[in-house]
Amino acid sequence: VEDPGEVSALAARVRAGDTRAVARAITLVEEALPESRPLLALLYPHAGDALVVGVTGPPGVGKSSLVDRLTAQLRARGHTVGVVAVDPTSPFSGGAILGDRIRMQAHATDPDVFIRSMATRGHLGGLAAPTADVLTVLAAAGKDVILVETVGVGQDEVEIVEAADVSIVVLVPGLGDELQALKAGIMEIADVFVVNKADREGGERLEAEIRAMLSLAPRPDTPAIVRTVAIRDQGTTALLDAVFEVRSRAAANGGLALKRRLRLRRQLEEAVRQRLMTRVRRRVLPPEDEERLLERLVRRELDPASAADDVVARIGLP
99 binds, among Mg ion, ligand GTP, none (CB under 5 to 8 A by kind): ligand GTP
Residues in 80-109 that interact with Mg ion by CB under 5 A: 96
Q: Which of 63, 123, 227, 247 binds ligand GTP (CB under 6 A)?
A: 63
CA distance 114 to 82: 5
Cα separations (Å) of 174 from 43, 196, 207? 44, 11, 11
Q: How far is the CB of 137 from ligand GTP (least distance, A)?
A: 22
Q: Taking a C-beta distance cutoff of 8 angstroms, is the pair 165, 139 a contact?
A: no
Binding mask 34-73 for Mg ion (x = CB under 5 A): -----------------------------xx---------
CA distance 48 to 46: 6
Give the Cα-Cα-Cα angle 80, 86, 92 (nearest 5 degrees): 135
160 binds ligand GTP (CB under 6 A): no
Choose among 209, 208, 206, 189: nearest CA to 197.
206
Maximum Cα–Cα distance across the chain: 65
CA distance 230 to 219: 28
Binding mask 165-184 for ligand GTP (x = CB under 6 A): --------------------
Q: Taking a C-beta distance cutoff of 8 angstroms, is the pair 46, 35 a contact?
A: no
167 binds Mg ion (CB under 5 A): no
Where does this chain touch ligand GTP (CB under 6 A) — which range of 27-35, 87-95, 201-209, 262-270?
87-95
Where does this chain touch ligand GTP (CB under 6 A) — which range of 10-18, 39-47, 88-96, 256-264?
88-96
- Measured from each CB, the residue nearest to Mg ion is 64
Residues in 244-283 that interact with ligand GTP by CB under 6 A: none
10 binds ligand GTP (CB under 6 A): no
Residues in 184-223 that interact with ligand GTP by CB under 6 A: 196-197, 199
Q: Which of 10, 14, 52, 64 binds ligand GTP (CB under 6 A)?
A: 64
Residues lying near ligand GTP in the complex (CB under 6 A): 59-65, 88, 92-93, 96, 99, 151, 196-197, 199, 229-231
Which residues form the interface with Mg ion (CB under 5 A)?
63-64, 96
